[in-house]
Amino acid sequence: MEDWKYFITTKVRGVIINDGKIFLCKAISRNGRWGFYCLPGGTLERGESRKECMRREIIEELGVEPVIGNLIYTQEFVRSEEFIQSNGTTTFDFWYEIKNSEDFLNIDISKCSHGFEHDHVGFYDKNSTLDGVVKPDHIWTLLQEWNETKGKFIQ
């Protein structure tokens, strides 16, 4: 245990909902992991606030200036030593509402500086045919709660 290291990571995610569907990005396959669908966003860089990071990540990945709303959800992921060789990691996700969903209807990731991080992007619901898993797997429950409560996640 003497060599064991522990890391804390902060990530931000944008919740973009249009016509009852949520915007997801399919990450490219890499490091032996298959691509998966997730909310747009990324990792906080040194010296950034969470909202600054949210703005930067959305512009880099999707080419759209986001109108960032309130913090609407947080979650914590704990990865143990078994998952990451000799390291443990806790990741805190902060989800922000993105209010200008109509600006995300026709995204061309080939024109974005970091569009290469995704196979494709778009609006989906739980009935959409997806060629990968969605992370977190409870996103559909959260989307249903969002729709039922007119824009509030039940925590």
pLDDT in tens, 1-55: 455 566 788 999 999 999 989 999 998 877 666 778 999 999 999 999 999 999 9
Domains of the chain, CATH where assigned: 5-148 (3.90.79.10)
What is the biggest distance separating any 2 CA atoms in the chain, rounded to whole angstroms? 52
CA distance 104 to 102: 5
pLDDT band per the 50, 70, 90 thresholds, residue 82? low
Query: Residue holding tokens 């249009």?
Result: 18
**Which pLDDT tens digit goes with each residue over 105-152?**
999 999 999 988 888 999 999 899 988 889 888 888 888 887 787 766
**84 pLDDT higher than 60:** no
Strands annotated E in the chain: 5-15, 17-18, 21-27, 37-38, 41-43, 68-84, 87-98, 118-124
Provide the 8-state DSSP code for 28.
P
Which of 21, 115, 6, 15 has its CA nearest to residue 59?
115
Residues 17 and 116: their CA atoms lie apart, in Å, by 23
